[in-house]
Structure 1
Amino acid sequence: MFNNDEFSDSFGHIPEETFLKIKGISEFKKFDPHVQLDELGKVPSKLYLLISGVMRCYITSESGKEFNKRFFFPMNFAGSLTALIKNAPSEVVYETITECSLYEIDYKELKQMCATDIVISNLYTVILEKVFMRYEKRQLELISMNASQRYLKLKEDIPNIDKLVPQYHIASYLSVTPVQMSRIRKKMKESQD
């Protein structure tokens, strides 16, 4: 469970009344590892606020190969936003990597609140801005960095990533094979020695 101070630290100050309204359309849940929260081809209805644990968002190729788009860590919102906004089937999967505690927020109720409560509407805008900035940062990294640089950047952003996320997931996120990932890590270890 979390409180308004923790929420405000991550998303800006909101009045206690607003925090309680959002909490009122949310449900606290715990999930085991490898649980799909938003499934491919299903219309989602929830936005998630991750409190503890690690999640991922991935797509699957026609051959069945998975490609990780993003990792989510505590105090991050996750959810198939395009599908939620369009009320359409999700083209991505959101899945727990570790045990996770999170709040499921009813998206339709949140959007209805946005229409009548300027503070909630502004908060929604802040959340969307953070999502967009993360997306843009990821795109720039893919275009401008090689796999080793992307791995170093990931480790800089999340120093304990190797302990939290299996190597094959990190490899997929970096758009390399697990073998290439092993070589990158070996080369970095050798350069440190």
Structure 2
Amino acid sequence: MKELVAYILKFGSLNQQQIDLILSKAQEREIKKENYFSEAGKVSVEVGFIIDGVMRVCYYNNKGEEITKYFIDENNLVVDLESFENSICSSAYVEAVTDCKMIVFSKKDWEELLNTIIGWDKIVHKIINKALIDKVSRRSPLVSEDATTRYLSFMEMFPNVINRVPLSYLASYLGITQSSLSRIRKNIR
């Protein structure tokens, strides 16, 4: 739980009583590889913090092809924010790419923290803003770069993820075929 506390304190200050309250609402959970944290067609009812492992957010396009939108690794929050906040069905899946160890908050407990801890809403807002900025900064270069540059950028941005995800997921994220990715990897070595 110390990872979660350290993460939260990067975005604001809390006293020990507030930290204890947050930790009292936190539940540790393991999610096995290929299992879902949240699913398309269902309302997201939990916020998670990844202690160990990698998750991915994916969806199916209108051709039925699975598309990986992004990866989330250790020391990051994971939530389908639109579904969670608006109580609407999600359009994406959040799947464990590896076995994951997480700290999880139910929607009820999360809202109780928002209503009880003064300043918690500001901390959460800063966390969400950082996540959105990170997401945009990671995706934006992928639009204009060639496939090799996209792969090299991914290696630089996600050094802890590159060797932990299947090539099919990585190829989908990069918007290329798996055979193209294999060729690029072969040429780089």
- Structure 1 pair 160–49 and aligned structure 2 pair: CA distance change class (3 A): closer
* Residue aligned with 2:29, SS: strand
After superposing the two structures, state which structure 1 stretch, 159-168 or 10-19, moved more. 10-19
Q: CA deviation at 1:77?
A: 0.6
- Structure 1 pair 103–157 and aligned structure 2 pair: CA distance change class (3 A): same
* Residue aligned with 2:163, SS: helix
RMSD: 2.0
- Structure 1 pair 115–9 and aligned structure 2 pair: CA distance change class (3 A): closer
TM-score by length of 1: 0.88
1:123 pairs with 2:120: no
CA distance in 1, matches of 2:120, 2:161: 33
**1:89-136: CA deviations, max 9, x gaps?**
011100101111001112343234324433211210111111111222
* Residue aligned with 2:37, SS: strand
| Partner residue, 1:179 | 179
CA distance in 1, matches of 2:174, 2:95: 18
1:166 pairs with 2:176: no
Identity over aligned pairs, percent:
26
Query: Which consecutive residues of structure 1, in runs of 5 or more, have no partner in the other structure?
Result: none
Letter in structure 1 aligned against 2:70: R
Q: CA deviation at 1:26?
A: 2.0
CA distance in 2, matches of 1:84, 1:179: 37
CA distance in 2, matches of 1:33, 1:4: 22
* Residue aligned with 1:95, SS: strand
Letter in structure 1 aligned against 2:14: I
- Structure 1 pair 145–111 and aligned structure 2 pair: CA distance change class (3 A): farther
Letter in structure 2 aligned against 1:68: T
**Superposition map of 1:140-159 within 5 A:** 140-159=140-159
CA distance in 1, matches of 2:22, 2:9: 16
CA distance in 1, matches of 2:4, 2:180: 43
**Superposition map of 1:48-67 within 5 A:** 48-67=48-67
8 Å contact from structure 2 (residues 54, 161) kept in 1: no
1:70 pairs with 2:85: no
Runs of 4+ in 1 over 6 A off after TM superposition: none
- Structure 1 pair 65–72 and aligned structure 2 pair: CA distance change class (3 A): same
**1:162-190: CA deviations, max 9, x gaps?**
3211111111111111011111112212x
Letter in structure 2 aligned against 1:145: E
Letter in structure 2 aligned against 1:82: E
Letter in structure 2 aligned against 1:104: V
Aligned residues: 189
- Structure 1 pair 161–130 and aligned structure 2 pair: CA distance change class (3 A): same
TM-score by length of 2: 0.89
